[in-house]
Every structure is written in structure tokens, then in C-alpha cells.
A = this chain, B = another copy of it.
Amino acid sequence: MGAIGTAVLLEYLLDERAEREDLEVVVLTSGAKMRESEAKLAEKLKEFDPDLVLVVSPNASLPGPKEAREILKGKPVIVVSDAPAKKVKDELEREGFGYILVTADSMIGARREFLDPTEMALYNSYVINVLANTGALRLVQEEIDRVIGEIKEGRTPELPRIVVTAKKAVEAGRFSNPYAKAKAMASYFIAEKVAEITVKGCFVEKDPQNYIPLVCSAHEMMRTASKLAEEAREIEKSNDTVFRNPHARDGRILSKTKLMEKPS
């Protein structure tokens, strides 16, 4: 429901080469919208009787996502959302939901004078780039993989309750070079800041003369964050220390560091 950068590749994060034999994924989305009525998708999803449900949306404190997860209660549910969802963190925990809130997955500059499909896609390319390069996506992946593993073992999974900060993201990034890590953190901080500007541009400023420059500058920030995140990875490449953790065919997470070596 609704677009966030973390969402667009989520199903692939868990099976990046389409060869896991232990995993069956079904994704149901309602496109960009997140009207309450669309929570009925949740009903549809229930028919699949899933072992684990990820409810992914921006601002999980809104009624639509809320209704969706209520319907799915009983199943292990992990809410994947962005910074505004921090408001319902306690509620989520109380209700037994897990959550992973990616604070750098900032709201897009959704103003018609600025945001057409092309700009939307570009923004997402920058966001995905930042989240992947800094390690944020790996943290998401590892947590969900851990839960899947626990379910496979027949255990009641310990659902993650994580706000993905810069620090946690770069820990998952497993940087060897401290400057690469600092650049990744810087990238993440900039990406987080974007939301502050887009919120102002979308909800506070009413005059196009004011809000167009704001949303445009917010996307420039994300673009720049992406370039900085690339710098981080390029450093790791130059030292042949890029950490990789591909899935094995049976779903285990392997790992490796030198490019030419075999993961294990």
C-alpha cells in the first residue's frame, strides 16, 4: 500500500537470484494509493494463509495500514514503514506486531508541478541506491530472514522492533574502511533530512513559488545522498572488501568479502 523505496524490491531481497526452494512469496499491492477501503486486500491475502506477513507502507500510523494489519492479526506480522511510523511504535509493540522503520526512506516530493512518473522513478532509484549502499536494506533482509528461519524451525519467531538509524544501517553495511562507513552515515543522514523538506513542501507551503523549489531541492538532496553512498562502496571496491551475503538455495545466508572468493 503506497510507495516507499524499501518496498519496491522487498520480495527480491529475500531471493535475489530466484532460486530459493524454501520460500514462496506472494505480493499483493494496491499501487500508490492507501485508502482504507483497500485494506480489503488484506482479506484477499489471508486466503493464501501465509506463514509471515509483511505490511509495507509509508506512515504506518494512518488508518489504511492500520486496518490492514488488524485484519492480519493472528499471523506474525512485520510492519515495514518509514520515519512517521515512529509515532505508533509503542502501539505496534503492544499489539504484538514487529516493525522495521527505515528513517532514511523519506517521503517523495509529491507536488504535481514537479512529480511526474519519470521524476518519481528517478527519486526511487536514488532512495534504493542509498538504502542498498548504506546497509539499510541488508538490515531489513537479515531481520526478515531471521524470522523466516525461526518459522521454518517451527519456533514462534521473535519479531523485529527496529528503527533503522544511520548507525544501525552502516553496521549492517559491514564496511571495512572507516571513511567509507562515515560517508555511508553521511548519506543516510542526508536522506533522513529529505523528509523534513518534502513534508514542508507538500503539506505546509501552499504557494507553488515556495513549494516547487522545496520539493526540487529535496530530490537534489536524495540524488546527492546517492552519490555519496556510491563513494562509500567505491572505496570498499578499491580495497576488495565489499561484503556480500547471498542466499543459498536452501535459504541460508552465506557471506564473503573478496570478490573472487566463494561465499560460505
By a beta-carbon cutoff of 8 Å, the part of chain A in contact with chain B is: 2-3, 8-9, 11-18, 23-34, 41, 44, 110-122, 124-126, 128-129, 131-133, 135, 137-138, 141, 166-167, 170, 177-183, 185-186, 189-190, 193, 196-197, 208-210, 212-214, 216-218, 220-221, 224, 226-228, 233, 235, 237-240, 242, 244-248, 254, 256, 258-263
Contacts and interface: CB of A to CB of B under 8 A. Distances in A.
Copies of this chain per assembly = 6
A235 B179 CA distance: 11
Interface of A is mostly: helix
Contacts of A16: 32, 110, 115-117, 119-120
Given A129-B125, A262-B113, A11 B27 contact: no
Nearest to A233: B122
A76 to B, nearest CB: 18
B125 A137 contact: no
Contact of A128 (B34, B115, B125): B125
A179 B132 contact: no
